[in-house]
Structures are given as structure tokens and as C-alpha cells.
Amino acid sequence: MTRDSFFQLDDLREAEYSNRGIWLIVNLYFGSLLFSAALAPLFAQAVHFFDPDGTSYLSGKPFSDFLNRGRLLCLLILFPVLIRRANLWSWKRLGFLSPGWSYFRKWFPIGVAMMALIFGIDLSLGIIEPRDIWTWGYQVERMALGLIGALLIGFMEETFFRGFVFRAFYNAMNPWKAVVISSLFFAYLHFKMPDEPWQQIPHSQIGWDDGLIAVWSTLTAFKVNFDALLFFNLFLVGVLLQLVFLYTRNLWACVGLHAGWVFVIQCFAKTFDQTEPAHWFFGTERVVDGYLVSLFLIGFIAFCYYLLRKRETAI
């Protein structure tokens, strides 16, 4: 796989390498943790101060949720600064090229078809079934909300992971290493610290030291919650999205594919239930914890790699 200056940061050429983007990721990752470690205890105390009886929506949230929201807030604040420093301060440089709609409308149905086929197999085999409260009206409502959520998640995650993180690794190493390592990082970040230990601690008892404990819990969540198949499938998801970006050279394709997956998952998540314990091959309603989705992802990865190689050899 040959390098392409389109994916380089700082206007580097194909033969040039730089670790600057990786250091920006490191600073963002640990900076967001420390920022949320300081902010989350303050927010928890404020929730208790304004709602001492604990009857509000926020009072029911564990402290871990406050930490995660603090990290997201830090990311939203710092991300524009990072992409400006990485010379990505334009939609075109970031990877959102015209005609974006033509790429999105092509890849969104592909994502929908992949997930719909997996859910269809599970449904036909009786692994999942509609809930007792299921109605067509409720399903349409879930589809509308699912579409909004899918568009937001697809856009934000692809902007960050493919538009910036992947390209930071691409800037520092050869393309295959960048695909593999950024996909491992993508899978690692999906392991969150468990909520259970924090659900029993009242917000009034949260102190500054709890912020640091939560940071440590976040850093070690991968080890505590590790699931080999889940990690492998998330890794494959990252690889596939990276290859789609390399092949299309347009983030709208990645957004479309990702949004298509999320849309179907959101549609089924709260309207269908699993009828039995996790199956060793089909997994659960989470989709990404079964071998069936592994086969789908490997097949699409092989196909995208074939298309990428075919295009490179034709040049």
C-alpha cells in the first residue's frame, strides 16, 4: 500500500514522516482525563447542592458518567485547536470532499444492509424477538430517533478517528502500520470504566481524590472489562473504516457506512430482546460480540483491500 500525501498532516510529502500528530493525540487523551478529573467532582457536588433530595435526572447518574461527559466536553473544546495545529482547518483538508451526498447515499445503505442482514438472521432463528410493548408506531419513533443518533455518532466519530487519529498515525509510519495501530487504539477506547462501583457512592461524598481514582479506572478499564472477541470485532471495524477512507478519499463514505450500522442497531436496541443467553456464534443483541459479525467484517475488509489494490495497480 503506497502512501498518499492527501492523508498526511502538515502538508508533508509521501516520503516524509512526523510524530507530531501522535503527540497531539497523547496530549489530548491525558489532558482530557485530567480536565475531567478536576471538573467531575465539582459538578457532582453542584448536583447535590441544587438537588439534596436526589430526585433529579442528574442525581441518578453515577460519578463515572460525569467523568465521561467531562472528557467529551474537553474534546469538543480542544479538537478545533488540534485540527488547526495539524493544518486540517477546512472541510476539504479534513476529508469532507464534494460531492459528499453521493458518497453518503452510496455507503449508508451498505451499512444498513450489513446490520439488517445480521439482525434478520438472528430474528429468523429466534435469537431475538420483539418486546411485548412493540408496535409499528413505536418502531417508527425508534427509527426517527435512531437516524438522528446515527448521523451524529457517525459524523463525530469519523471526524475524530478517521479525520484526525488515523491520519496522525499515517503521518508517522507506513500505511499498513497506521491502519493496524489506529484500529487497535479505536478498539481500546471503546472499553469504558465500569459504572457499578460508582452507583453506590452518593454525590455528596464525591471528593477530589475520586477524580484521580476514576482516571485510573479509565486507564485500566481495558484490562478489567476485556473481552477478546469484542476487542477483535471493534478492531475489524476500525480496519474496515480506515480502508474505506483510503479507497474513497472521502470521509462522507465512512460517515455513511458508520451511520448505517448505528441506525439499524438503534432501531432494534429498544424494540427487540434476546431470547436466550449469548450464543457462541451469533453473540447478543449488541451485534459486535459474535463471530457472525466477524465474518461479515473480514469479508468486507478483503473486498475493500481488493478495490484499493486494483486502483493502485491501475495508476
The secondary structure of 262-278 as a DSSP string is HHHHHHHHTTEEESSSP
CA distance 315 to 307: 13
Structure confidence at residue 286 (pLDDT): 74
Q: Which residues of 199-225 are buried (b: 16+ CB within 10 A; e: fewer)?
A: eeeebeebeeebbebbbebbeebbeee
State yes or no: pLDDT of 226 exceeds 80: yes
- The C-alpha cell of 177 is what? 502500520
CA 159 to centroid of chain Cα atoms: 10
Do 209 and 138 lie in one domain? The reply is no
Average pLDDT over residues 261-267: 90
Closest-CA residue to 2 (of 159, 243, 184, 175)? 175
- Residue-level pLDDT at 222: 82
Residue 309 pLDDT more than 80?
yes
Distance of CA 126 to the CA centre of its chain: 29
3-state helix, strand, coil in the chain (%, to 5): 70, 5, 25
Q: Single out the residue in 224, 243, 276 at which a domain terminates.
A: 224
Among the listed residues 235, 237, 195, the one whose alpha carbon sits nearest the alpha carbon of residue 218? 195
Structural contact between residues 295 and 303, judged by C-beta atoms closer than 8 angstroms = no
Are 103 and 156 within one domain? yes
Please tell me the total count of domains within the chain: 2
**pLDDT of 133 higher than 80:** no
Are the CB atoms for 222 and 273 separated by under 8 Å? no
Q: What is the mean pLDDT of residues 128-135?
A: 77
Q: What is the mean pLDDT of residues 143-162?
A: 93
**Is residue 287 scored above 80 in pLDDT?**
no
The residues, any chain, with a CB within 8 Å of residue 292's CB and separated by 6 or more, are: 118, 121, 281, 282, 283
> Given this model, what pLDDT does residue 55 score?
82
Kindly state whether residue 63 falls inside one of the protein's structural domains.
Answer: yes
Would you say residue 53 has pLDDT above 90? no
What is the residue range of 77's domain? 19-89+192-224
Q: Are 68 and 43 in contact (CB under 8 A)?
A: no
Last residue within a domain, chosen from 224, 239, 266: 224
CB distance 9 to 21 below 8 Å: yes
Are residues 154 and 255 in contact, defined by beta-carbon separation less than 8 angstroms? Answer: yes
> Which pLDDT band, with edges at 50, 70 and 90, does 278 fall under?
low
The mean pLDDT value for 122-130 works out to: 81
Tell me, yes or no, whether 12 lies in a domain.
no
Q: Is 155 exposed, middle or buried (0-12, 13-18, 19+ CB in 10 A)?
A: middle
Asked, for residue 110, whether it belongs to a domain, the answer is yes
Length of the chain: 315
From 206, 224, 242, the end of a domain falls on 224
CA distances from 152 to 143, 149, 158, 260 (A): 14, 5, 10, 12
Residue 5 lies in a domain: no
Q: What whole-number distance in Å separates Cα of residue 60 and Cα of residue 195?
A: 12
Question: Has residue 263 been placed in a domain?
Answer: yes
Let me know whether 237 and 219 are in one domain: no
Q: What is the pLDDT of residue 263?
A: 93
The arithmetic mean of pLDDT across residues 63-72, rounded, is 89
State the pLDDT at residue 246. 95
CA-derived radius of gyration, the chain: 21
Same domain, 42 and 85: yes
In this structure, are 125 and 185 located in the same domain? Answer: yes
Same domain, 61 and 184: no
The pLDDT, as a whole number, for residue 315 is: 62
Please check whether residues 104 and 130 belong to one and the same domain. Answer: yes
**Assigned domain for 4 exists:** no
Identify the pLDDT of residue 60: 84
What's the pLDDT score for residue 198?
A: 83
SS3 202: coil
Q: Are residues 172 and 255 in the same domain?
A: yes
